[in-house]
Each structure stands twice: as structure tokens, then as C-alpha cells.
Amino acid sequence: MAVIFSDLHSESGLKALEEYLSCKSYISGSQLTKDDVKVYAAVLKKPDGDLYPNASKWYEAVSGKLASSFPGKAVGVSIGGSPAAPAEAASEKVKPCLCSQEPAAEDDDDDLDLFGDETEDDKKAAEERAAAAKASTKKKESGKSSVLLDVKPWDDETDMKKLEESVRSIQMEGLLWGASKLVPVGYGIKKLQIMLTIVDDLVSVDSLIEEQLTVEPCNEYVQSCDIVAFNKI
């Protein structure tokens, strides 16, 4: 549970911190946590050892922990653009604590994690976000094209209504049939002109003609197909 102190630059704020630490080694108990780092960053310099012995001892302990965790780097954490002052080397006398104090845990710098371990819930949420992003990428359609197709019957006796029904019966992902009309060719023969919209990555017009429109069962009515117009949308 995060602990919040008011203005730690003021005497009242330091008194509150001193009183809070009278029976504690660290903000959250006997071990250094992120709460200590946050409060440490809000204290501009080491509290006076005579006025605030407990706060001074705590500040020195946090400084030492940070220095050992990040060797070679300046000790201090910046919050709101104001860096915390480095720890002073001199130790201060500490007034005895009248209440029972929690035993300090043995120092283990290797196990110190100032930013918290990733929990199982965090990992699961990250995996779900990655899966959703991947699925969104897959669902994102590529470019589309508008195609005008001439569908020619075998002869003037071909039932053009059934020819169109046969053509429109072809359904696949990325294919959408549009408007159509019958256009006279000559000698009583008419051809079917039909619009279709395709998703380029999903539908090949050449494959549609060769593998669907000019083979069984469509070839009972369809003799051949020609691409009249092909435009990117």
C-alpha cells in the first residue's frame, strides 16, 4: 500500500516522516520497496540527524541500497525535474525507539527490484494485446479492385437467366458481385456484363475465370469470359 506524505521540503512534512519511521526500518516495513524510492526522491537532502534521527537513518540506508544496486551511477531519483541529493557519508546518532521495531531483513542486493516483478496477470494482458494486434493486422484488408466482366454463352439458345444465376452462385471471401446487364452481340446472341469487387490479396480474377466460371457446373451455360475493365479502388 503506497504511503503519501505532504510537503517533505517543510518541517511539518519531515516531522511526519520522522514519526512514521520511529518503528519502521523502511516505508513499507523491513525491506526497501518502490515506496521508499518515491519518498526518497521527494526529500531534497538528508534530514538533520539531531532533529530527525529516524528519517536520517532511513535516508542513509536507501542511499546505500541505491548506490549498491546501480554502481557507478549518481544516487538520486528525479521527480518533477528536481533530483534528490546524494547520500552523505557521515552517520548520525539515532535516538532509541520506544516501541518494538521489526527486525531488519538481511540485505540482498541481488534480489532488489525497485520497479516490481511482472505478475502473471501482466504477462497474460501483454499476450492478449499482442494477439489482438496480430489479429487486427490479419483482418486488415489489402487494396480492392473493381472489375467489369463479359460472360459469353454458348449460343442464342442458352438460358441467360440461369447463366447469371450460375455466375452469382460462386461465393468466396473477398468477392462481391454487383450490377449486371445483357448486351446484344449479334445473331440473337447476348452476353452478360457483370460488375464485381474483389480484395486483391484474396481473389484472383484469372483464377476465378479458369477454376470457377469456365468449369462445371458453370460451363453448362458459360462458353468464355473476358475482362473488360480492371480498376483499383
| CATH code, domain with 98 | 1.20.1050
pLDDT at residue 55, as a whole number: 85
- 205 in a domain, yes or no? yes
Percent composition of the chain: helix, strand, coil (DSSP 3-state, to 5): 35, 20, 45
- 133 in a domain, yes or no? no
Residues 176 and 85 in one domain: no
Q: pTM, whole model, 2 decimals?
A: 0.41
- 63 in a domain, yes or no? yes
- 85 in a domain, yes or no? yes
Residues 23 and 103 in one domain: yes
- 192 in a domain, yes or no? yes
pLDDT at residue 42, as a whole number: 83
> Which string of DSSP letters, residue by residue, matches 57-114?
HHHHHHHHHHHHHSTTS----EETTEEPPPPPSS----PPPSSPPPPPPPP-GGG--T
pLDDT at residue 137, as a whole number: 59
Number of domains in the chain: 2
Taking only the tens place, the pLDDT of each residue in 150-163 is 999 999 999 999 99
Residues 17 and 106 in one domain: yes
Residues of the chain with pLDDT under 50: 1, 73-111, 115
pLDDT at residue 116, as a whole number: 53
- 127 in a domain, yes or no? no
End of a domain among 65, 90, 110? 110
- 128 in a domain, yes or no? no
Q: Whole domain around residue 201: which residue ranges? A: 144-232
- 125 in a domain, yes or no? no
